[in-house]
Structure 1
Amino acid sequence: MLGSLLRRGVSHGYAVISDITSWHAATWTDVKPGSIYHALDKLESQGMTKSVNSENNEKLGPSRKEYIVTEQGEVEFRILLESALVSADIQQLSVGIAFMDMLSRPRVIALLQQRRVELEKSIRFLKSLPTEECPSEPSKHPELVGIWAGYVENEATATERILANVQAGKYVFKSDSLEGK
């Protein structure tokens, strides 16, 4: 939600719903279009956003409440975004990737490197777990341990690919345009 508002500058609920729908965000986040207005009210009550009067002077219907992200909201967005880029949770990482261009390229590289290190630790741990041909308890089942090790290895491979692309200069970051000035 904060990312949509920050990308737009000033926005109303319907535009946020439009963004979330066009981004197919319901497939990679917990945000559902039906909860947008409640979430916008909650963000406003927490000081993350501020409502402003619509600049649309046309009287085609009821006035529309528009929102901007406050300084507190921008700080919170950055904290959440950085946390998402190191998260082991696939939905949080997905949000981080979707909005990583709102950070600087060097910061994204550092966060993805941090994620890679943590995933490598997890892989070593999972591969060190004892397994038994006829497991005496679920945690020693070779298939269970194998599923988790494979999952984390896949996450590490994906992180490495994303990191290589970012390091190679792929994608445009908001800070890239500032560095050229």
Structure 2
Amino acid sequence: MSATRLLVLGVVRGFGRAHGYLIRAELLRWGAESWANIKWGSLYHALRKLAEEGLLTAGDIDEAGRVDHEITARGEAEFFRLLKAALREPQPRPDMLAAGLSLLPALSRAEAIELLEVRHRTLRTSQDEYQHQNDNWERAPHIRELFGLWTHTAAGGAQWTQQMIRRLRAGTYLMAGEPGAVFGVPGAWPPDAELAGYGPDNYSPIPGPSG
């Protein structure tokens, strides 16, 4: 799966209509180059590819050489497929989860909790499997450090996921379909977002790891 693909679909969906410059500027404000492993050349490649696949429409080139894109019904389905997989399925790299979390309010509270519960069960199972391998390894003893690292990583991921589920159950964040929820509504991002930046919290940019 591609974090870039998910983010591009999510930003176009949020604005309702967006060109490559606006998408790039918005993701830069979110710090996505540091947490989603985005290569800016691949962003424009993703736009062309998504349009070729019928997931985005591509308008005419304007005077500035920019092309506006809109998400299609197929693109909407692909967006939710990628978003749900990003939250449900643990991956070795963190970029898909980071992209999924940045677009989390596009889901209902119940959907998000259900997906994270699956993630939690998967991580707990992985933790047990890695611990079993560690306990029963009989070859080069230093290899146990690798199993120990994987056990620790799975345990930490499971703990964070459980805490995230608790926050959602407690009503943290505005999720799709709830009164006042804006971020997850297609085309609802404010028209001045190109200047102000837009994130899930009060239209503020999403900070990167050092933010």
The TM-score with structure 2 as length reference comes to 0.74
> What are the superposed Cα offsets for residues 59-91 of structure 1, whole Å, 9 maximum, x if unpaired?
xx4353100000000000000000000121222
- Partner residue, 1:136: 139
Cα 1:35–1:141 shift into 2, 3 Å: closer
Work out the number of aligned pairs and report it: 172
Cα distance in 2, alignment partners of residues 122 and 87 from structure 1: 12
- What residue number does 1:115 align with? 119
Cα RMSD, aligned residues only: 2.2
Segments of 4+ in structure 1 off by > 3 A? 130-133
Amino acid at match of 2:126: S
Distance 1:154 1:131 in 2: 19
Structure 1 unmatched runs, 5+: none
Question: 1:25 & 1:7 partners in 2: Cα distance?
Answer: 16
In 2, distance between residues paired with 1:126 and 1:63? 53
1:149 paired to 2:151: yes
Counterpart for residue 90 of structure 2: 88
- Cα drift, residue 178 of structure 1: 8.3
- Determine which of 13, 17, 37 is the counterpart of 1:6: 13
Secondary structure class of the residue paired with 1:128: helix
Residue aligned with 2:171, SS:
coil
Q: Which amino acid is the alignment partner of residue 136 of structure 1?
A: R
- C-alpha separation between the residues in 1 aligned to 2:145 and 2:134? 12
User: Sequence identity, in percent?
Assistant: 29
Give the C-alpha shift of residue 25 in structure 1: 0.8
Distance 1:149 1:8 in 2: 41
Name the counterpart of 1:100: 104
Q: Comparing both chains, which one has the higher relative contact order based on Cα–Cα distances under 8 Å and sequence gaps of 6 or more? A: 2
Contact 1:101 / 1:171 at 8 angstroms: preserved in 2? yes
What does residue 35 of structure 2 align with?
28
Equivalent AA in structure 2 for residue 96 of structure 1: G
**CA shift at 1:107, angstroms?**
0.3
CA distance in structure 2 between the partners assigned to 1:74 and 1:177 by the alignment = 22
* Counterparts of residues 32-47 of structure 1 (less than 5 Å): 32-47=39-54
TM-score scaled by length of structure 1: 0.86
Deviations 1:130-174 (A, max 9, x none): 4479x6247x73322211111111101111111111111101112
Larger radius of gyration: 1
CA contact (8 A) 1:131 1:141 kept: no
